[in-house]
C-alpha cells in the first residue's frame, strides 16, 4: 500500500527537481534536492493547475503525490522528457509549508530564468487547435524569419510606414509578400489560409489568462508552447499574433481601396455607412500582446520593467480581466520576479502570511515613496477590501483613470519630495506635499 509522500525540509539555496521516470501507464518520478549553484540542467513547466477535483497520482518512490488532472495530462505528453529533470511548482514546492512557499517564491524568477527550457502546456488538443498550431508554424514561422519581431515598438506604431531604414524596409517588403500570399489563400479557400478563428480560440485558452505565466514566459531563455501533440516556439506564436493583427488591418484597407476583392467566409464583415466594422472579426487575445511586450523589454531591450509599469500593463482596463489567480496577493507576487531591481524592497514584500490589505498598502507606499504619485490615479475602490483611500484595489480589474496621458498635469514633471513627510510611515496614513496656487 502506497502512502502519501512526505517532503524533507530544504536547506538554504536548495530547490527540488523531479526526474520523470515514467509517464505511462503510471506517472512516476524521483524528487531530488539540488542547489542552484551546481548549475542543474532542467525544464521548467508552465501550466494552469486547473480543477482540484479528480486528483491524479504521481508516484514518487513508494509514495503518492496527488496532482491535478491538467498537470497529469501534461506529464503524460512528456514521453521525450523521461529520464530528464523537471521543475514543477505543485510538485517541487511543499504546498503545505508556508515558510517554504515564501522562500521558494523568492527563487521563482531565478528558476525560470536559469531553466534550459520553459515548456508551456496550453492543454489538450481540441477542435481546431491542430490547425491553429500548424498556422502558427506556417505564418508565424515565416513572419519570424522575415524579421517581424525585430521592428522596434516606435516603428511598429507607425505601420505601414517604417521610415528610411533599409533593414526595416526589407522586413516590410517580406511581410507584405506574406500578406498577399495569405489573402490569395483566403480567396481560394485554401487549407493553407491563415486559421483566424482557430488561432483566436487558441489565444483565449485559460493558460493565457493565468497571471503567473507572464513571469514564467517572460523570463525563460527558450520557451516552447505545447498543445496536445503539437509544439511551437513562443517566438513563432508572437510573430503569428503580430502578423494576424497587422494583416487584418492591411486586408481591410486594401479591400476598401479596391486593391483586393471579395471577403473570406469567416470574415463576416458588417457593412455600414462608415465602411467595414471589425467588431465581428475573429481577433486574438491581447494577453499574448502583453506577454510579447514584457518579454521584449527583458530580452531585447535588456532591462527589467518597473513595478508601476507592470501594474498598469497587466491590471488596468481590459487586461485586468486576463490575469487570474486564486490568491489576491498573487496580483503583486506574480509580478515581482520581473521587476527592475528585484531584491531590495521588492523581496521584502513577499510573505505568505501577511494580509492582502497590508501588502497592497505596502506596495502603494513604496510607489509613492519613489515619487510615483500617479499611483493615486488608480484608487477607485471596486472591492470589499478595507483599504485606505490612497491604495489601489488590485484584486479586481482597475478601470482606466480619467487621464493618464500627461495632458492634465498641473505640476508638470515635478516629483514628490518625501524626506520632509514624517507621516509617510504611519500605517494607514500617507503624507504628501503640495503647492498652494493662487
The DSSP annotation for 10-26 comes to P-TTEEEEEEEEE-SSS
Q: Identify whether residues 138 and 97 lie together within a single domain.
A: no
What is the structure's pLDDT at 422?
A: 45
Q: What is the pLDDT of residue 396?
A: 87
233 with 195, same domain: the answer is yes
CA distance 66 to 430: 46
Distances (CA, A) of 263 to 121, 177, 189, 259, 268: 35, 19, 11, 12, 8
Asked if residue 395 is part of any domain, the answer here is yes
* Residue 7 placed within a domain: yes
What is the C-alpha separation between 46 and 66, in angstroms, rounded?
18
Residue 197 CB partners (closer than 8 Å, separation 6+):
128, 266, 282
- What is the C-alpha end-to-end distance of the chain, expressed in Å? 82
**Does one domain contain both 259 and 368?**
no
Helix (H) or strand (E) holding 297: helix 286-299
Q: Are residues 358 and 209 in the same domain?
A: no
User: Residue 270's pLDDT is what?
Assistant: 42
Q: Are residues 60 and 198 in the same domain?
A: no
pLDDT value of position 283: 81
Same-domain pairing of 94 and 200: no
- Whether residue 147 is contained in a domain is answered as yes
**Domain span including residue 32:** 3-105
Q: Look at the chain and report how many structural domains it folds into.
A: 3
What does the pLDDT read at residue 294? 94
Q: Look at residue 430 and tell me if it is in a domain.
A: no
Say what the pLDDT of residue 1 is: 58
d(CA 349, CA 331): 12
User: pTM, whole model, 2 decimals?
Assistant: 0.86
Cis peptide before 343 (omega within 30 of 0): no
Between CA 128 and CA 412 the distance in angstroms is 51
Out of 227, 260, 287, pick the residue that ends a domain: 287
Which of residues 287, 311, 326 is at a domain's end?
Answer: 287
Is the CB of residue 295 less than 8 Å from the CB of residue 218? yes
Q: What pLDDT digit, counting tens, does each position of 10-40 carry?
A: 998 899 999 999 999 999 999 999 999 999 9
308 found inside a domain: no
Asked whether residue 384 falls in the same domain as residue 283, the answer is: no
At which of 221, 255, 287 does a domain end?
287
CA 150 to chain centroid, in Å, comes to: 20
Query: Within a domain: residue 297?
Result: no
Residue with cell 502583453: 290
**Closest-CA residue to 123 (of 209, 184, 219, 60):** 209
**Res 412: pLDDT:** 66
Specify whether 236 is located in the same domain as 151: yes
Kindly state whether residues 168 and 243 are assigned to the same domain: yes
Same domain, 192 and 89: no
Q: Is residue 211 part of a domain?
A: yes
The angle subtended at Cα 237 by Cα 232 and Cα 239, nearest 5°, is 130
Residues 193 and 265 in one domain: yes
Domain-embedded: residue 437: no
Q: How many helices (H) and strands (E) does the chain have?
A: 16, 12
The Cα 276–Cα 153 span in angstroms is: 27
Residues 182 and 263 placed together within one structural domain of the fold: yes
The list of the chain residues with pLDDT below 70 reads: 1-2, 153-167, 251-252, 254-281, 320-321, 341-348, 352, 402-426, 438
Amino acid at each position: 500500500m502506497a502512502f502519501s509522500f512526505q517532503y524533507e525540509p530544504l536547506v538554504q539555496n536548495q530547490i527540488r527537481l523531479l526526474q520523470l521516470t515514467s509517464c505511462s501507464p503510471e506517472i512516476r518520478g524521483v524528487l531530488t534536492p539540488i542547489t542552484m549553484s551546481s548549475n542543474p540542467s532542467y525544464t521548467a513547466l508552465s501550466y494552469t493547475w486547473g480543477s482540484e477535483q479528480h486528483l491524479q497520482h504521481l508516484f514518487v518512490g513508494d509514495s503518492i503525490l496527488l496532482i491535478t488532472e491538467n498537470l497529469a495530462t501534461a506529464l503524460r505528453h512528456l514521453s521525450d522528457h523521461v529520464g530528464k529533470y523537471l521543475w514543477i511548482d505543485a510538485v517541487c514546492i511543499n504546498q503545505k509549508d508556508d515558510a517554504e512557499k515564501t522562500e521558494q517564491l523568492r527563487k521563482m524568477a531565478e528558476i525560470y530564468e536559469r531553466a534550459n527550457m520553459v515548456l508551456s502546456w496550453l492543454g489538450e488538443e481540441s477542435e481546431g487547435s491542430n490547425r491553429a498550431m500548424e498556422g502558427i508554424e506556417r505564418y508565424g514561422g515565416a513572419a519570424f524569419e522575415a524579421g517581424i519581431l525585430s521592428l522596434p515598438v516606435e516603428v511598429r506604431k507607425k505601420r505601414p510606414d517604417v521610415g528610411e531604414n533599409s533593414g526595416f524596409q526589407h522586413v516590410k517588403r517580406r511581410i507584405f509578400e506574406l500578406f498577399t500570399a495569405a489573402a490569395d489563400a483566403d480567396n481560394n479557400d485554401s487549407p493553407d489560409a491563415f486559421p483566424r478563428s482557430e488561432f483566436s480560440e487558441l489565444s483565449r485558452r485559460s493558460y493565457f489568462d493565468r497571471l503567473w505565466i507572464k513571469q514564467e514566459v517572460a523570463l525563460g531563455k527558450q520557451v516552447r508552447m505545447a498543445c496536445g501533440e503539437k509544439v511551437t516556439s513562443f517566438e513563432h506564436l508572437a510573430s503569428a499574433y503580430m502578423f494576424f493583427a497587422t494583416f487584418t488591418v492591411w486586408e481591410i484597407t486594401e479591400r476598401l481601396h479596391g486593391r483586393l476583392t471579395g471577403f473570406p467566409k469567416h470574415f463576416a464583415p458588417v457593412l455600414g455607412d462608415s465602411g467595414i466594422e471589425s467588431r465581428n472579426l475573429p481577433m486574438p487575445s491581447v494577453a499574448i500582446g502583453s506577454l510579447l511586450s514584457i518579454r521584449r523589454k527583458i530580452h531585447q531591450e535588456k532591462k527589467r520593467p518597473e513595478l508601476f509599469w507592470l501594474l498598469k500593463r497587466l491590471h488596468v482596463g481590459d487586461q485586468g480581466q486576463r490575469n487570474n489567480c486564486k490568491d489576491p496577493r498573487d496580483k503583486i507576487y506574480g509580478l515581482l520576479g520581473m521587476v527592475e531591481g528585484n531584491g531590495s524592497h521588492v523581496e521584502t514584500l513577499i510573505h505568505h502570511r501577511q494580509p492582502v490589505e497590508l501588502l497592497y498598502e505596502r506596495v502603494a507606499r513604496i510607489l509613492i515613496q519613489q515619487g510615483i504619485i500617479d499611483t493615486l490615479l488608480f484608487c477607485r475602490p471596486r472591492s470589499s477590501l478595507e483599504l485606505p483611500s490612497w491604495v489601489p484595489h488590485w484584486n479586481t480589474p482597475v478601470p482606466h483613470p480619467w487621464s493618464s496621458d500627461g495632458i492634465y498635469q498641473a505640476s508638470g514633471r515635478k516629483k514628490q519630495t518625501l524626506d520632509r513627510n514624517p507621516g509617510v510611515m504611519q500605517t494607514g496614513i500617507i503624507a504628501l506635499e503640495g503647492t498652494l496656487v493662487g
